[in-house]
Amino acid sequence: ATAALEGVQSWQPNWDDVAVSLSADISRWHKVTESE
């Protein structure tokens, strides 16, 4: 059980990367919707 818990804790999303990729997706979506 401890090993499983450590495995979960060791996986942490890199929130900076998530935020950057999310803003890129939003910008791309705006460009697509504005072009129509």
For the chain of 36 residues, list the mean pLDDT of each consecutive stretch of 10: 68 85 93 82
Whether the model pTM is above 0.95: no
Output the pLDDT for position 34: 87
Output the pLDDT for position 25: 94
- CA–CA dist 25, 36 (Å, integer): 17
Domain boundaries, the chain: 2-34
Output the pLDDT for position 13: 80
- Tally DSSP H helices, then E strands, for the chain: 2, 0
